[in-house]
Amino acid sequence: MTWARSMQSFDAFLHAERNFSPHTRRAYGSDLRQLMNSVGADVEPQHVDSQLVRAWLAAQYQRCCAATVGRKLASARCFFRFLLREGEVSADPTAGLPAPKQPALLPGNPPPRHARRRLAPPRGLEAAPGSGPWSS
């Protein structure tokens, strides 16, 4: 099956069976066109192997963040699993490929109004002057 036919069938699957939004389907289609351009339009989906997918992902790391590369891998995984289910490929070239590690983010500082609210005494409980945790 050609790339064009495979991608058309895949888009119909995403719409009808997975109920993906048009935005998600457009992003998956874009990711798959990038994969197709990377491996060559003359290489049909059934001839794509894990090394070609790895090379494509490695190139994506040069210009995309880990979350975007993860979505591109998810697009390819979903596509090749679909083709495997349909009997169009004999093996999934994305099987066993690890997802990119996401950077650990530190929590931000809470806004001042949240900090004041946490430090204030509970409602209905008035503290006597000089009896708070900071009194000596």
| Residue 54 binned pLDDT confidence (cut-offs 50, 70, 90) | very high
Domain boundaries of the chain, sorted by first residue: 3-86
| Residue 127 binned pLDDT confidence (cut-offs 50, 70, 90) | low
Give me the chain's average pLDDT, please: 87
- String of DSSP letters for 28-88: HHHHHHHHHHHH-TTS-GGG--HHHHHHHHHHHHTTS-HHHHHHHHHHHHHHHHHHHHHTS
pLDDT above 60 (res 36): yes
* Residue 98 or 35, more confident: 35
Calpha distance 63→127 (Å, rounded)? 57
pLDDT of 135 = 60
Structure pTM? Answer: 0.73
pLDDT of 115 = 73
pLDDT of 117 = 74
Q: pLDDT by residue (tens digit) across 69-124?
A: 999 999 999 999 999 999 999 999 999 988 888 777 777 777 777 777 777 777 76
pLDDT above 70 (res 133): no
Distance of CA 30 to the CA centre of its chain: 14
Q: How many CB atoms lie within 10 A of CB 24?
A: 14
Q: Among 2.60.40, 3.90.400, 1.10.3470, 1.10.150, what is the CATH number of 3-86?
A: 1.10.150
